[in-house]
Chains A and B, each alone.
Chain A
């Protein structure tokens, strides 16, 4: 026996293999007939996500269908995973808008800082998690794709209301 192995001593007259076996088998039989299954049949039933779930991003739009983003550059700055690529542009009226806005969902750590930092409440993390692709490139979401997302967005944690009530 190896040195240092923890040896648990029990009085020999209390150890009974047959009885231990039978009680174990009674337990498994009980579970066989009275099951306490918590399995969720995934594609058919889905887990209800928390309102604070941070998942796939979504870009909110104004009434006329344009992105709310003003290309201020806060989200790529705050992003700890460096997954947001933003090239700002300016139209003839002097309004800033994103020429290029890409989020690499594969790189993202879903911390939600982008949503917290956004002054226009444009970029959001969403209550959505089913984003699978056949290639890595497919995970780079451009502006159109971010705007096309329809899932509900995350309600961020509010220090004034820590329980979310």
Chain B
């Protein structure tokens, strides 16, 4: 029974050959390949992150019927370069009361984890080259997903340490908020991915991707198998990256700039880059876990081609998926207002966590039931059954529960009698102190 519950555990291990290290020849190939992959991926990544700052400003401009930056270079394409130059030349200020060692280290603490996460994400189909199998991820470690959970939790340290070491009340409040927020949403995030892990029976990211490429196209993608998990992950990703509507750690209208109030020049820029790097990483994770990773939709040739062309084509599609999610991040940012703090907390703890737990139970029950009935992952019946379950959940969550309960309005916390009392008090106050009666 246990084996049949995880039919892809073995398959997952088979399709994920680790670096071949028999003999010096293979080791050399592996070393060269790794270095080349590192150089290429991180160059694309960092340049891309810089360009994303421009993309964000452009999209913001377009959404607000403006033009966005268009002065530096054709269409403003060199704006990140100008920004970088400016930030490097600017004076670095240190607040007198700041704790300097941590103040200096904090930007790095928030920047490095975002980069480290990217190292394990498979960005293309493996290439069966003459020198052995070359995985299209820098470090194809077998505990990929656990590694990501561990490293992404480290990102909060950068923010909290920045807030604390600045010795500024606004920065400290920003840091505190971010720690509360990130811990709350990490739980929901971790819980949301358990159904995905149940389906793949493996925590290795390449196995999760391989399992999504193996079945019939639309149903094999985890988005159709774990829709609710995707939505919980999606919302948590916003909270984890501190993007609107979850940007309470920054909250410029309340906390100046939150945890990076005291930072200037390149150190501020590091926080900024870290935010975008986190966004790319979260997008890559969503693509990997729920949208088939590097899988090219509508086709099957890429799954077993194992050629360099297939690797590059799949990598291209993976980047397209990432950019789509990054666009959604920006689109949401320029649409939604910030949550109130109590809404943030109640969404995380009172809605998403119970939903994720319920979902785990429902998914696990369905998977076990289907396995008992003799349907394995990858068959049509299995996929359709999961799809039906998800449609049921989506209807319940988005049409029935979403009645002032997902995000509760201000008055829902008061009972009617108290509300009347408060109103009466406000009226009396304005009656006796007409000077205070504003609107």
Contact = CB atoms under 8 A, between A and B. Distances in A.
Nearest to A13: B403
A128 to B, nearest CB: 24
Contacts of B411: 7-9
Interface residues of B, number: 31
A31 B335 CA distance: 11
Nearest to B414: A1
A65 interface: no
B332 A4 contact: no
Contact of B402 (A3, A8, A17): A17
Given A3-B426, A16-B402, A18-B398, A10 B331 contact: no
A78 interface: no
Given A7-B410, A7-B422, 15 more contacts: A3-B425, A3-B426, A7-B414, A12-B403, A16-B404, A17-B407, A18-B398, A24-B335, A27-B335, A28-B331, A31-B65, A32-B62, A37-B65, A37-B67, A41-B67
Contact of A21 (B63, B336, B429): B336
Contacts of A1: 410, 413-414, 422
B402 A31 contact: no
A35 B65 contact: yes
Contacts of A15: 403-404, 409
A19 B403 CA distance: 10
A124 to B, nearest CB: 35
B268 to A, nearest CB: 27
Interface string B422-439: 110110011000000000
B412 interface: yes
Interface in B54-83: 59, 62-67
Secondary structure call for the B interface: helix
Interface residues of A, number: 29
Contacts, number: 73
B65 A36 contact: yes
Contacts of B425: 3-4
B272 interface: no
Contacts of A31: 62-65
A29 interface: yes
A74 B59 CA distance: 55
15 contacts: A1-B410, A3-B426, A4-B425, A4-B426, A4-B429, A7-B410, A12-B404, A16-B402, A17-B402, A24-B336, A25-B331, A28-B63, A32-B331, A35-B65, A39-B66
Interface string A48-80: 000000000000000000000000000000000
B406 A17 contact: yes
A4 B336 CA distance: 26
B422 A3 contact: yes
A7 B414 CA distance: 11
Contact of A12 (B67, B335, B410, B412): B412
B302 to A, nearest CB: 30
B381 interface: no
Interface string B305-334: 000000000000000000000000001101
Contacts of A160: none
A8 B404 CA distance: 13
Nearest to A12: B404
